[in-house]
Amino acid sequence: MFMYKIGVVGEKDAVIAFLALGLTVKAVESPDEAMKAVDGMAREGYGIIFVTETVAKDIEETIERYKNQMLPAIILIPGSKGSLGIGMAKIKENVEKAVGVDILSKKEG
Residue boundaries of the structural domains of the chain: 6-99
For residues 26 and 8, the answer to whether their CB atoms sit within 8 Å is: yes
pLDDT at 16: 92
**Is 0.85 topped by the overall pTM?**
no
pLDDT at 68: 84
Q: Where are the alpha helices (DSSP H) in the chain?
A: 12-15, 31-43, 53-56, 60-66, 86-99
Instruction: State the Cα–Cα distance between residues 32 and 52, nearest whole angstrom.
Output: 15
Q: Which residue in 43, 49, 51 sits closest to 86, CA to CA?
A: 51
Architecture of the domain delimited by 6-99: 3-Layer(aba) Sandwich (3.40)
pLDDT at 95: 56
pLDDT (tens, 9 = 90+) of the chain, 109 residues, equals 678 899 999 999 999 999 999 999 999 999 999 999 999 999 999 999 999 999 999 999 999 999 888 899 999 988 877 666 665 666 666 556 556 666 566 655 4
Residues 6+ apart with CB under 8 A from 84: 53, 54, 57, 78
